[in-house]
Amino acid sequence: MSITADDVKAALSKVIDPNTQKDFVSGKSVKNIQVDGGNVALDIELGYPANSQVGPIRTSVAEAVKSLPGVADVKVNVTSKIISHTVQRGLKVMPNVKNIIAVASGKGGVGKSTTAVNLALALAAEGASVGILDADIYGPSQPMMLGINGRPESRDGRTMEPLENHGVQVSSIGFMIDPDEPMVWRGPMVTQALQQLLEQTNWRDLDYLVVDMPPGTGDIQLTLSQKVPVTGAVIVTTPQDIALLDARKGLKMFEKVGIPILGVVENMSTHICSNCGHTEAIFGEGGGEKMCRDFGVDFLGKLPLTLEIREQTDSGRPTVVADPDGPVAAVYKDIARKVAVKVAEKAKDMTSKFPSIVVKND
């Protein structure tokens, strides 16, 4: 009895992608099935970056195909193909940035910037081309967090090159001002500066641009949400009631401007004593998960309040690069995969497929 491509598909329809929770056939990941007698070769094309997942996925797919009678050898090639997805109505995807992920919070001090930088680094570790835009004009922190000094260069006098460290491209107003210099600017100036940072930085073919948003839900945040083509937003909060109150406002703001919520991250969920290891929920517990249930959005994960996260970030080597195999980095990487999968499940951006209509008066 000879094996057919349909037999292979039938076997793979029972294999679940651990990240999307869909089987590889209905998820349209199975490509280029080739059967030559008892030899089978196929591609698994994922819509999200997955360097750490290639081995387990290849094994589970190969085992399923090998279970078919008559199969002697299986070759599985696992790749990632990240495409542009839809943004707010009336805005176009940037030509050199496939997806923009806004990381926001309703208030300051909840670890939004730390979450943003580790999310960017985790996506890069999984094989994606990633940039981070420090949109917090009044309090830029990404230069310090990523250990980057210096001024961006301009090769044409109109645009600037992003600075880079740990494999991530970075643009921040912090590169252009003295660290002790306060930004005494009104809202319109801040918005204009931010748009220039976004549009006049020569981002190099990014799969994801993570935007570290300013805290709050005021005029600046609203203008950004209406002018920047955002694929989706991640809300960062702590379990504390007062933080959750503001996080809910941030979530509703994105909903009002048509930006999907990719999920909620609960930061400083528990405090772990560095001496005895005792764990205590000093800011309360369960608040982030309850907020997700109330609004029908995904809970992406929770992170502890530890001395190491603060020390690593302050030193310019955030947790994902300072301790890549540690338990906290594993949480950041899990959150990054969930975010990437949520982006991959969104509708594909088709604006480039439609021709521009020009009306001429003869």
Q: Which residues are annotated as a binding site?
A: 106-113
Measured between alpha carbons, how far is 80 from 67 in angstroms, rounded to an integer? 26
Ordered alpha helix ranges (H), the chain? 5-12, 54-66, 112-125, 142-145, 187-199, 219-227, 241-256, 287-295, 307-314, 319-322, 327-344
Fill in the amino acid letter for 188: P
Binding site for ATP, by residue number, is 106-113
Total count of residues recorded for the chain: 362
Element (H, E) at 328: helix 327-344
Angstrom distance (rounded) from CA 111 to CA 267 = 7
Pairing of strands 39-46, 30-36: antiparallel
CB-CB contact of 236 with 104 (8 Å)? yes
Determine phi and psi for 257, rounding to 5 degrees.
-100, 10
